[in-house]
Amino acid sequence: MNDKLALPVGTTLDRFIMRKQEDFPFASGELSQLLRDIALAAKIVNREINRAGLLDISGAFGQQNVQGEEQQKLDVIANIRFIRALRNGGEVCTIISEEEEDLIQTGNKKGRYIVAMDPLDGSSNIDVNVSIGTIFSIYRRCSEVGTDGTMEDCLQAGTQQIAAGYVVYGSSTMLVYTTGNGVNGFTYEPSLGEFFLSHPNIKTPQTGNIYSCNEGGSNSFPEGIKNYINYCKENNYSGRYIGSLVADFHRNLLKGGIYIYPPTAKAPNGKLRLLYEANSLAFIVEQAGGKATNGTQRIMEIEPTELHQRCPLIIGSTEMVDKVEGFLRAEVPVS
């Protein structure tokens, strides 16, 4: 028999997680189950996104979330799907979501984990068929098992993450995650209903020639950021900005580049959320060899003080982030 007629399809996410269980002797399989729960919710959300145009579930929902942003119908759907999967999985005691004002108690008081999530990042792009995503972080609870999770459990610094990841729903659907032992990416095969390892041990290039920034507000950017953008233009870098954080980050992670969302006059503390977006992507990029800062401080060392805290974000290839920090310190001449 010709072996080429039955080539292996690769390593499934479930099998990969099982092999890596030994990295977490304290978890006794709970973390593995939690990652599977997230993957299940991602499959369901992927299905909803792919049929959005057929079922009238794109467009605005008619309400605003806690951030004061207009919710899209799929924002609400994704939020419900992930909460339901995490609640039913039994490993999570408390969830915090960009779409919810307060802590979400799952009723699983014996659960050992806290999940912070942005259920659907970039949802304003749904109606125009542009890539969107999900971002998540996982923490071990600080409070006593057998009780509801607390605010202290949820306001942990990014350095306390035990896992983080994102899903990008695009030309293919990919789940990328880290547990502090490198970064791995899995591509969804819809006919089999499985995520397969497609990008093992992702390492981001140390530098690149892509910068991602919404230059529409550049008049109110800090001078150092303005000077860095001018530097990029003078050196013929490519400007690439999708408007979906996950999509911009994913491209730069693989190809080398930098994503910049600085403070502006309209958003003096930045716009992105520390707990739901910045911490997770910072953990991933550092595990891939990159860097994340707010301009003066490592993202993962920022101590959260509130659930929906915002922060500036400069993230990507290490040499490029270093260059921005240099401009912000006025140590790099504009040339």
CATH of the domain at 65: 3.30.540.10
- Asked if residue 212 belongs to a known ligand binding site, the reply is no
Phi and psi at 252, nearest 5°, equal: -70, -35
Closest CA to 85 of 51, 136, 36: 36
Is 98 annotated to bind ligand? yes
Note whether residue 205 is domain-resident.
no
Is 214 labelled a binding residue? yes
Question: Is 189 known as a binding-site position?
Answer: no
The model's pTM is: 0.91
Classify the C-alpha dihedral 305-133-293-295 as positive or negative.
negative
Which CATH number goes with the domain that contains 299? 3.40.190.80
Q: In this predicted model, what pLDDT tens digit does every residue of 256-307 receive, in sequence order? A: 999 999 999 889 999 999 999 999 999 999 999 999 999 999 999 999 999 9
152/36 same-domain check: yes
Tokens standing for 4? Answer: 């080429």
Q: What is the pLDDT of residue 335?
A: 46
Query: Which of 157, 172, 199 finishes a domain?
Result: 199
Q: What is the dihedral angle through the alpha carbons of 65, 68, 69, 70, rounded to the nearest 10 degrees?
A: 70
Query: Is 166 part of any known ligand binding site?
Result: no
Number of domains observed in the structure of the chain: 2
223 in a labelled binding site? no
pLDDT value for 166: 98
Are 182 and 268 in the same domain?
no
For residues 286 and 224, membership in a common domain is answered with yes
Tell whether residue 233 is among the known ligand binding residues.
Answer: no
- Domain boundary, last residue among 199, 218, 243: 199
If you average pLDDT over residues 105-121, what whole number do you get? 96
Q: What is the rounded CA–CA span in Å between residue 80 and residue 317?
A: 34
Q: Which tens digit of pLDDT belongs to each residue from 214-263?
A: 999 899 999 999 999 999 999 999 999 999 999 999 999 999 999 999 99
Among 154, 179, 199, the domain-final residue is 199
**How do residues 56-87 score in pLDDT, each as one tens digit?**
544 444 455 555 555 678 889 999 999 999 99
Ligand-binding annotation for 289, yes or no, is no
Domain residue limits at 322: 210-328
Output the average pLDDT for the chain: 90
241 in a known ligand binding site: yes
37 part of a folded domain:
yes
